[in-house]
Amino acid sequence: MTITTRQLLGGVVGLVAAATSFAGPEEDRKAFQSFYFDRFPQVTDHADFKNGVYSILPEARVQWEQIEEFPPYELAIEEGQALFEKPFANGKSLADCFPNGGIGIRQNYPYFDTARGEVVTLELAINECRTTNGEKPYPWKKGPLASVSSYMAYTSRDAMIDVKIPDDPRALAAYEDGKMHYFTKRGQLNFACSDCHMYGSGQNLRSETLSMSYGHTTGFPVYRAKWQEMGTLHRRLAGCHESVRAKAFKAQGPEYRNLEYFLAYMSSGLEINGPSARK
């Protein structure tokens, strides 16, 4: 199927409903997940939504599973581990900056730091650890940062996303900002994230099947065939904005961090399966 004008108008109705709703985050999460459960009844094991479109496209899933036998992100995991364990000039390493030495913690990110009053993503924390210890930060969208994040995600595989919204009005405001971002239309094409990945999920846009937002954050960083390399979530978010002819926000700026906070909270309860391979 392709997206029709009527279906897009249905998305507008959903947008208005979302914008005028006073439901709390937990009510949002339940409604958000139920939307996908109802839309894709063939996915009887809801945990499979972590696999994106491969949970609803049997033929594509077979090809993806073959790729996973020799995954293209293996080198990134190896490189990431080496960078993670490499001592800084002061003798410390990335492990010194994270709980549990940075192992098995991906599921807790992003989180709202009540001391700072802002959302902290894993990639932000990695680079802040480097700069705090006198090292240069990595580029935000790909390269070493994606590799280190890949390794840390790999150590967290099968752990369930456990993003929380603390009892702090600033945390709720960050969540609501991410939610509003998700439902706000932008760009010359006048599309919102929800138009493609909620109301249009499972449908075809040119040769691509639009993925579901439920489970979007579980597999990052990802190796995309289009990129021929690894990329972070914020690289993908920027690409989505550019696809609808909107100006992308700065990677790790508050706009994308809050959007990631919203998306990760919506996927609470799903397992981390990053890094992953996607088309």
Supply the residues annotated as catalytic.
240
189, 183 in Cβ contact below 8 A? no
DSSP designation for 271: B
Helix axes 25-39 and 254-266, enclosed angle (nearest 10)? 60
Instruction: Decide if 178 contacts 259 (C-beta within 8 A).
Output: yes
Determine the Cα–Cα distance for residues 131 and 145; give it in Å rounded to an integer. Answer: 13
Three-state SS string over 9-25 comes to HHHHHHHHHHHCCCCCH
Cβ-Cβ contacts under 8 Å for 125 (sequence gap 6 or more): 97, 98, 109
Write down how long the chain is. Answer: 279
What is the spatial distance between Cα 145 and Cα 76, in angstroms, rounded to a whole number?
10
